[in-house]
């Protein structure tokens, strides 16, 4: 049911954004700029010759229109929701790994309008970023509203990303596979795949009912059949070139992001100015290469046909991948709003198109009559590799072009490109993690495996201060200062938890209410949940004063907090219980706690050294109230309580070394 609901919203969101983008383009780029870009087949482009595009009628207006769109987008973003800056997909991926409740409705709304302004005025960006944020944002809202567990919330946001992208591109199968893979560089989460099927087909059904079900680029390459092994040589060339171009795309984009941040000025006006400057530069570049304007899908459509690709000058075909990379970096990397998925596929399309043009010009053997298969494989290899989602992009491009027969030779090109990019360690999505095992929650679970045995109720404590949602900022500030903290949970008049207030987030006057500054996406845990779930929702790198989680009952009434110190105490208890449960299991082995006495020969001895008798395993060391693992590099100290496992006679030998023989006899008596 949740999948169908998220999918329906994804489809409706894609329809809404597509409508807004179309009208923004007609008003800004066509109406004010006097330039009509070509359209893909699904948007009425049709066969070659039917793709409508014209030369500039007002070339002087193009830099002004693109820069003006960037200015309007920047004003909207940096005034209302600075987090809406950029391509948007990374923000949704971050929600999967950190907090599936964190995407704000305001951010999604601002993202939609700002992206329509950026792309509609000619900025180089894709339409998938905003649609992904619409559906992922709705999934985040559902996670908060239904109080889903973090694991379920992550799945909801993941399928939201895939269904939104799959809907806007008319590629439901690829969207479902994307849901399960986009969060990782080198992994695939099978738990997300089946929910992704349901969500993605729901989104596609809704979107197609209004916009049609025809593939985005028609079926230009549908007739291709792999029947010549020599083709593999050309596909290998496309794969290697696509990997190199993909690396250039990623590195140029993030180099522009870093350069923009290093430029003087960090305030709102400066950030708006940087985005505007990026737009103006794109407009100037477009005067020489108009193919860089907008999404570029119409130009990719043109490249699929022999006569269409041959109508472009060879130098344009060869330089267009680099020009599109630069335009996208300037449009989005400087602070604009839009996706980077779509431009990546246009870049790949012209990598394949350039290879075909060169081979066709020199009369190379076994070159297909139509460039369509080269263009399609270039799309798959370039962005599938740099996005680290090769299978998902292969399926999506196959659906977008009606070209599933291309998948057979495309495997070689995509595989080579992906291996090249993976070896370099790059990705276009900076929030991806390497694998499920390297996620924060997974690292917690593997490093502290006993936390799943300790319920929250055993370590819950009272918060230093609790604020009311009706407090004025002046009163809240006094309470926080008196308690010596800079953040606290907030409840309503009935004691129900509504969010967390951080002092750094409140900029109102002393008499203004704290309501707008409350973080309502803050995670709360239940009394019956276990500590592994609590620690997994505490994001890494948080400030020390915010390293706690709110505890609520089923009615969301605040019951206390769980602090990091509480988690440590709970783990120590669990570790001790796990060790002592071995007592008496066998007459051949036992687990005991042995203190290290003053003057013992074991003081300063390593736990893996000759001082520890053979067949004895040091499980843990209690030192100063903290538990240390029995690692090789740990040296014993006076006062340590060592938990050891071993045969009885070896444990007796360990006691003698820890106490001394006389003390052992006294203790035994």
Percent of the chain with pLDDT over 70: 89
CATH number of domain containing 653: 3.30.70.1450
Note whether 340 and 125 are within 8 A (CB): yes
Better-scored residue on pLDDT, 539 or 369: 369
Alpha-carbon gap, residue 294 to 86, rounded angstroms: 15
Predicted local confidence at residue 605, as pLDDT: 80
Whether residue 342 sits in one domain with residue 455: no
Residue 651 lies in a domain: yes
Better-scored residue on pLDDT, 507 or 262: 262
3-class SS of residue 377 = helix
Residues of the domain holding 156: 2-424
Question: Measuring CA to CA, which residue among 274, 272, 292, 297 is closest to residue 282?
Answer: 292
Predicted local confidence at residue 438, as pLDDT: 64
Whether the per-residue pLDDT at 357 is higher than 90: the answer is yes
Whether residue 336 sits in one domain with residue 458: no
Mean pLDDT of 6-24: 93
Whether residue 157 sits in one domain with residue 304: yes
Whether the per-residue pLDDT at 664 is higher than 90: the answer is no
CATH number of domain containing 136: 1.10.3080.10
Predicted local confidence at residue 614, as pLDDT: 79
Whether the per-residue pLDDT at 50 is higher than 60: the answer is no
Whether residue 220 sits in one domain with residue 271: yes
Predicted local confidence at residue 568, as pLDDT: 74
Residue 57 lies in a domain: yes
Q: Which two tokens mark 131? A: 């649609």
Alpha-carbon gap, residue 398 to 378, rounded angstroms: 12
Whether residue 269 sits in one domain with residue 127: yes
At 377-391, the pLDDT tens digits run: 999 999 999 999 999
Whether residue 334 sits in one domain with residue 257: yes
Residue 439 lies in a domain: no
User: Per-residue confidence at 507, pLDDT binned at 50, 70, 90?
Assistant: low
**Among 561, 594, 610, which residue terminates a domain?**
561
Whether residue 545 sits in one domain with residue 597: no
Predicted local confidence at residue 476, as pLDDT: 87
**Among 390, 424, 458, which residue terminates a domain?**
424
Alpha-carbon gap, residue 396 to 373, rounded angstroms: 15
Predicted local confidence at residue 105, as pLDDT: 85
Mean pLDDT of 476-494: 88
Whether residue 79 sits in one domain with residue 41: yes
Predicted local confidence at residue 52, as pLDDT: 41
Whether residue 599 sits in one domain with residue 540: no
Residue 575 lies in a domain: no
Residue 482 lies in a domain: yes
| Range of lowest pLDDT (200-214, 456-470, 598-612, 637-651) | 598-612
Whether residue 354 sits in one domain with residue 463: no
Q: Phi/psi class of residue 615: alpha, beta or left (left: φ > 0; alpha: ψ in -120 to 50)? A: left
CB atoms within 10 A of CB 487: 21
Note whether 325 and 292 are within 8 A (CB): no
Which secondary structure element, helix H or strand E, spans residue 524, and what is its range?
strand 524-526
Predicted local confidence at residue 174, as pLDDT: 93
At 448-480, the pLDDT tens digits run: 667 777 888 888 888 889 999 888 888 888 888
Eight-class DSSP state of 39? -
Mean pLDDT of 16-41: 91
- What is the side-by-side order of every strand in the sheet holding 548-552? 524-526, 548-552, 558-563
Residue 436 lies in a domain: no
| Range of lowest pLDDT (14-23, 531-540, 641-650) | 531-540
Q: What is the largest CA-CA distance in the chain?
A: 104
Residue 283 lies in a domain: yes
Beta strand 617-623 pairing with 641-646: antiparallel
User: Per-residue confidence at 443, pLDDT binned at 50, 70, 90?
Assistant: low
Please tell me the pTM assigned to this model. Answer: 0.77
What total number of domains does the chain contain? 3
Residue 267 lies in a domain: yes
At 545-594, the pLDDT tens digits run: 457 888 998 888 999 998 877 777 777 777 666 665 555 555 667 777 88
At 301-315, the pLDDT tens digits run: 999 989 889 989 999
Note whether 456 and 530 are within 8 A (CB): yes
Whether residue 251 sits in one domain with residue 118: yes
Whether residue 181 sits in one domain with residue 43: yes
At 55-87, the pLDDT tens digits run: 678 889 999 999 999 999 999 999 888 877 877
CATH number of domain containing 529: 3.10.580.10
> Which segments of 38-127 does DSSP mark as H helices, in order?
61-80, 89-97, 105-120
């Amino acid at each position: 049911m949740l999948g169908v609901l998220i999918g329906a919203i994804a489809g409706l969101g894609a329809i809404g954004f597509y409508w807004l983008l179309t009208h923004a383009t007609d008003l800004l780029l066509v109406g004010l700029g006097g330039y009509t870009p070509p359209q893909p087949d699904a948007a009425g482009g049709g066969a070659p010759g039917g793709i409508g595009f014209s030369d500039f009628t007002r070339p002087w207006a193009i830099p002004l229109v693109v820069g003006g769109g960037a200015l309007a987008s920047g004003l909207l973003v940096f005034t209302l929701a600075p987090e809406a800056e950029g391509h948007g997909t990374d923000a949704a991926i971050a929600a999967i790994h950190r907090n599936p409740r964190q995407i704000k409705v305001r951010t999604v709304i601002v993202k939609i309008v700002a992206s329509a302004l950026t792309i509609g005025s000619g900025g180089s960006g894709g339409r998938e970023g905003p649609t992904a944020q619409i559906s992922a944002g709705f999934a985040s809202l559902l996670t908060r509203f239904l109080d889903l567990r973090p694991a379920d919330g992550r799945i909801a946001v993941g399928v939201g990303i895939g269904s939104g992208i799959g809907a806007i591109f008319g590629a439901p199968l690829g969207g479902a596979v994307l849901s399960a893979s986009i969060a990782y560089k080198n992994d695939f989460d099978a738990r997300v795949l089946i929910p992704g099927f349901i969500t993605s087909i729901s989104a596609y059904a809704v979107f197609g009912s209004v916009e049609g079900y025809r593939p985005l680029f028609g079926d230009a390459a549908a007739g291709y059949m792999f029947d010549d092994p020599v083709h593999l040589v050309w596909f290998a060339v496309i794969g290697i070139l696509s990997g190199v171009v993909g690396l250039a795309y990623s590195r140029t984009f993030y180099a522009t992001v870093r350069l923009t941040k290093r430029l003087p000025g960090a305030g709102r006006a400066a950030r708006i100015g940087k985005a505007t400057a990026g737009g103006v530069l794109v407009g100037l570049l477009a005067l020489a290469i108009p193919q860089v304007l907008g999404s570029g899908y119409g130009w990719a459509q043109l490249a699929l046909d022999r006569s269409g690709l041959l109508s472009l000058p060879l130098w344009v075909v060869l330089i267009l991948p680099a020009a599109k990379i630069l335009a996208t970096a300037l449009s989005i990397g400087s602070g604009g709003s839009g996706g980077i998925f779509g431009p990546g596929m246009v870049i790949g399309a012209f990598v394949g198109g350039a290879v075909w043009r060169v081979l066709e010009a020199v009369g190379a053997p076994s070159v297909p009559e139509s460039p369509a298969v080269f263009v399609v494989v270039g799309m798959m290899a370039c962005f599938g590799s740099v996005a680290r989602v090769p299978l998902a992009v292969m399926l999506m491009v196959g659906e977008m072009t009606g070209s599933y027969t291309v998948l057979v030779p495309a495997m070689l090109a995509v595989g080579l490109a992906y291996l090249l990019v993976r070896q370099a360690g790059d990705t276009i999505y900076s929030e991806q993690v390497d694998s499920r095992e390297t996620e924060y929650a997974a690292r917690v679970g593997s490093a502290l495996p006993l936390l799943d045995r300790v319920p929250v109720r055993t370590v819950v404590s009272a918060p230093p201060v609790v604020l009311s949602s009706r407090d004025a900022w002046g009163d809240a500030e006094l309470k926080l200062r008196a308690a010596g903290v800079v953040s606290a949970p907030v409840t309503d008049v009935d004691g129900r938890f509504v969010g967390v207030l951080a002092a750094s987030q409140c900029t109102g006057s002393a008499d203004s209410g704290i309501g707008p500054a409350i973080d309502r996406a803050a995670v709360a845990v239940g009394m019956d949940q276990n500590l592994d779930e609590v620690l997994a929702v505490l994001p890494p790198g948080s400030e020390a004063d915010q390293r706690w989680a709110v505890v609520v009952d089923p009615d969301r009434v605040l019951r206390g907090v769980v602090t990091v110190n509480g988690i440590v105490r709970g783990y120590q208890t669990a570790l001790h219980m796990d060790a002592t449960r071995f007592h008496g299991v066998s007459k051949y082995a036992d687990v005991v706690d042995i203190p290290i006495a003053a003057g013992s020969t074991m003081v300063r001895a390593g736990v893996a050294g000759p001082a520890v008798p053979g067949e004895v395993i040091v499980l843990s060391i209690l030192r100063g109230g903290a538990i240390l693992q029995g690692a090789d590099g740990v040296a014993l100290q006076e006062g340590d309580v060592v938990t050891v496992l071993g045969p009885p006679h070896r444990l007796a030998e360990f006691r003698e070394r820890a106490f001394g023989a006389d003390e052992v006899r006294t203790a035994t008596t």
